[in-house]
Structure 1
Amino acid sequence: MVFYFKSSVVEPAAFVYVGKDKFENEELIKYGWEEDVWFHADKLSSAHIYLRLNEGDTWDNIPEDLVTDLAQLTKANSIEGNKKDNVTVIYTPWSNLKKDGSMAVGQVSFKDHRKVKKVLVPQRENAIINRLNKTKIEKQPDLQQEREDRRRELRKRDQAAQQQRRKEEAKVLKERQEKKWQKDHAYDDLFTEENLEASSNQNRPENWEDDFM
């Protein structure tokens, strides 16, 4: 089971999802998207909270209000952290998560610790949690299929973009070739047989020089 939330502090509303338990978290780790940012209580047990970024957004430039929402939701979904003040929440891109066979179910590490950010949550803010909980939906998705569908969509986009680039490049090349041909043949009409005869003195009348006297 996966819980879905929406945060309305940004426009369009941010898409957030949470694993129900450690086994579901394992699936989320495995089938995350490149656009996902992972949130977790630092050094405490908590749910794995994921923010799915909108296209064009980056994980290191998430609006402050949205980070606050995710941090509050993370704290609220930690049994121990929910009871404490001054809880630190960490977040990093899904692609930075590291998982190997020696780790327990739901446990992760990081490929690059420099890509991990921290935010301090002084205390629980019920107004935020209540607002987010009103958007809560439970689903049982096929995470693997969803990711395969997404990757298929991205491949189609890339192929379409490549085809468009090739068309534009071919158009530019054709225009350059036409301009070069026009430049190379700009004086061709001046040297036609008709023009050469018209400019030849041999075909002029005997008194043609009188015109200049």
Structure 2
Amino acid sequence: MVFYFKALPEAGDYTIFMGLDKHENEELIKYGFPEDIWFHVDKMSSAHVYLRLNKGQTIDDINEGLLEDCAQLVKANSIQGNKVNNVDVVYTPWFNLKKTPSMDVGQVGFHNPKMVRTVKVEKRINEIVNRLNKTKVERKPDLKAEREAVNAVERAERKAQLRDKKKREELERLEKEKQSEIRSYKSLMVSEKMTSNKQIASANKSLQELEDDFM
């Protein structure tokens, strides 16, 4: 089971989601999207909350309202973190999550700790948490199928880009050959290398002169 929430409309059309439990979190870790941003209360047990950005966006594109929604939601879904003030929420791109066989279910590390950011949440803001909970929808998605569908689209896009690249390269090659032929033709038309009809006539005897010589 995955829970989906809608962010503050003013922040943009974004979906925030989290797994029902640590086993669901394993699936979310395994089949995430490149645009997903992972949130968790630092040094405390909490839900794994994800924000799905639009294609092409990065962690730098998260605006203040969107960040606050995600931070409040992850704090509210931490048993310990929900009871105290001034908690730190860490967040990082999904592809920075590191999972090794020795880790417990739902546990993650980071490939690059420098890509992990922190935002401090002073206190729970019920207005935000209640608004998000009103948008909550429960679904049982096939995360693997969704990831494979995205992979198929990305492969098709890469193939199309490769075809376009090869086509451009072939057109450029043909244009270079054409320009080379034009330059070669122009070099043959240089006046110093050309012979006029008058020059040809002066260099050869007339028909009458040839007959006189023969006689």
TM-score by length of 2: 0.85
Counterparts of 1:132 and 1:181 in 2: how far apart (Å)?
68
**Amino acid corresponding to residue 117 of structure 2 in structure 1:** K
Whether 1:10 aligns to 2:29 is: no
- Tell me the residue number matched to 2:27: 27
Percent identity over paired residues = 47
* 1:38–1:189 CA distance, 2 compared to 1 (3 A): same
Tell me the CA shift for residue 187 of structure 1: 5.1
Larger deviation: 145-154 or 27-36? 27-36
Change (3 A) 1:190 1:107: closer
- Can you list the C-alpha shifts for 1:163-211, whole angstroms capped at 9, x where unaligned? 11111121122112111111111254679xxx7435534289x9xxxxx
1:43 aligned counterpart, secondary structure: coil
How many Å separate the matches in 1 of 2:116 and 2:187? 67
Structure 2: distance between partners of 1:128 and 1:199: 96
Give the CA deviation at 1:54: 1.2
Contact 2:6/2:136 (8 A) holds in 1? yes
Matches within 5 A, 1:96-175: 96-175=96-175
Partner Cα distance (1:86, 1:30) in 2: 31
In 1: Cα distance, 2:10 partner to 2:80 partner: 27
Q: Which has the larger radius of gyration?
A: 2
- Listed one character per residue, the Cα deviations across residues 98-141 of structure 1 (whole Å, up to 9, x for unaligned) are 22222221111122211111100111122222332232211101
In 1, the alpha carbon distance for the partners of 2:79 and 2:14 equals 25
Contact 2:35 2:56 in 1 (8 A): no
Superposition TM-score, scaled by structure 1 size? 0.85
Q: Distance in 2 between the 1:90 and 1:187 partners?
A: 69
Amino acid at match of 2:176: R
Contact 1:197 1:203 in 2 (8 A): no
Q: Give secondary structure in 2 for the equivalent of 1:186.
A: helix
**Aligned partner of residue 185 in structure 1, secondary structure:** helix
Alpha-carbon separation, structure 1, partners of 2:190 and 2:108: 79
CA gap of 1:170–1:60, structure 2 versus 1, over 3 A, is same
Answer with 62-71 or 156-165: which moved more.
Answer: 62-71
Measure how far apart 1:86 and its partner are. 1.0
Cα shift at 1:38:
0.6
Distance 2:196 2:190 in 1: 8
Q: What corresponds to 2:178 in structure 1?
A: 178
> In the alignment, what sits opposite 2:202?
202
> Which residues of 2 match residues 76-91 of structure 1 at below 5 A?
76-91=76-91
* Amino acid paired to 2:16: V
Q: Secondary structure at the match of 2:186?
A: coil
Unaligned runs of 5+ residues in structure 1 are 207-213
Report runs of 4+ in structure 1 exceeding 6 Å deviation.
Answer: none
* 5+ residue gaps, structure 2: 207-215
Q: Distance in 2 between matches of 1:190 and 1:91?
A: 70
Distance 2:190 2:48 in 1: 79
2:212 is aligned to none
Q: What RMSD, in angstroms, separates the aligned Cα atoms of the two structures?
A: 2.3
Q: Which letter does structure 2 place at the counterpart of 1:131?
A: R
Paired residues, what number? 202
